[in-house]
Structure 1
Amino acid sequence: MEFILNPWPWYISGPLIAFVMAILLYFGKTFGMSSSLKTMCSALGANKISDFFKFNWKDQRWNLTIVLGAIIGGFIASQYLSNDIPTDLNPTTITELQQMGFENPGATLVPNEIFSLESLTSIKPIILLIIGGLLVGFGTRYASGCTSGHAITGLSSLQKQSLIAVIGFFIGGLIMTNFILPLIFKT
């Protein structure tokens, strides 16, 4: 018996996220991957190298469940909950991506031209990943949090800083998608 798994609809996943946020807010906790990674780095000894990581990480060790959950959840989702249905992209988007050199846009969630192991044999994807990682790290530090923290925790607790950060994330994403990526992948 074969069945196809589809993403959970918004009316199930949205209330589940709201429920988790309500529990976290009730206990005075916040959700965000960057704070979880900060806790992990401090626990692994980064506090000996940088003052940024000098805090009592044991008070924040519950954050490590977020990292562990992301790793386990990602594995379960990719191995057991994935389907082979391609992403439903707009035909114009498919044409534009093919013009940029992406062979099969929508066939995978992320493009193999950037994120496959084979792409690591080419210098261009490696440079993109390194620069992208540095920019994400800088942006996360500069905005005092990551996209998940600001968009989920910050907005749900009505923080002005999070609203400004989320607006910045969307503007940055639009600029990257519409202007910078076409320049990088111009064939």
Structure 2
Amino acid sequence: MEVLLNPWPWYVSGPLIALVMALLLYFGKTFGMSSNLKTLCAMGGAGKFSDMFRFKWRDQIWNLTVLVGAMIGGFIAVNYLSNDSGTDLNPKTVLELQTMNFETPGAKLVPDEIYSFDAVASPKGLILLIIGGLLVGFGTRYADGCTSGHAITGLSSLQKPSLIAVIGFFIGGLIMTNFILPLLF
């Protein structure tokens, strides 16, 4: 039986994230998806090719619970906590997206024009994935962490480099949304 619910509101999910962060801080641990990927690469032997992956990955294996939890949580969210209500977009945003050839903006959580298999498998989609992946990988390495690590762990522990990184993430997102995305579509 499939249960259809709206996404959890901020006042439920926000305190749950805060609780997890308080527990991590209490136990002296940090959180971030790039840390999980770094640990996976080290486990796979990437330390033979790069000094970045030469560390005691067994000390970080606990962090992989975050990766497993994200996969299980994503599965539960898609299959049991989602509905087809779409996204309530500002009418001006809908018009702007329609001028960029998005057929039904807001009808689905993610637009088929970007996230369908056909869009991703197209030459344009593959080029965007490759360039985007390289930029995200470079940015994560350059910023010494990912958006989740800096925005959740770094800000909750009052780290100035994380504040600077998060400001940079938002500026980059605004530039992408307002200047680059319209050129791509």
Q: Which TM-score band (shorter chain)?
A: over 0.9
Distance across 2 between alignment mates of 1:148 and 1:9: 19
Give TM-score scaled by structure 2 length: 0.95
Q: In the alignment, does 2:124 pair up with 1:92? A: no
SS class of match (1:72): helix
Greater shift, 112-121 or 127-136, is seen at: 112-121
Call closer, same or farther: CA 1:44–1:168 in 2, change over 3 Å.
same
Report the equivalent of 1:60: 60
- Alignment check: 8 A CA contact 2:150 2:165 kept: yes
Report the equivalent of 1:78: 78
Cα offsets for 1:137-184 (capped at 9, x unmatched): 111111010100000000000000000000000000000000011111
Distance across 2 between alignment mates of 1:51 and 1:152: 27
Report the equivalent of 1:29: 29
Report the equivalent of 2:139: 139
Give TM-score scaled by structure 1 length: 0.94
Report the equivalent of 2:181: 181
> Aligned-residue CA RMSD in angstroms?
1.5
Compute the displacement of 1:4 (Å).
Answer: 4.2
Distance across 2 between alignment mates of 1:121 and 1:2: 30
Report the equivalent of 2:41: 41
Aligned residues: 185
Amino acid at match of 1:147: T
Amino acid at match of 1:104: T
Amino acid at match of 2:82: S
Amino acid at match of 2:16: L
For residues 87-166 of structure 1, what are the structure 2 equivalents within 5 Å?
87-166=87-166
Compute the displacement of 1:121 (Å).
Answer: 3.6
Compute the displacement of 1:75 (Å).
Answer: 1.3
Give every structure 1 segment of 4 or more consecutive aligned residues whose post-TM-superposition deviation is greater than 6 Å: none
Query: For structure 1, which runs of at least 5 residues remain unmatched after alignment?
Result: none
Report the equivalent of 2:20: 20
Cα offsets for 1:65-120 (capped at 9, x unmatched): 11111111111111121101010011111111111111121122222112211223
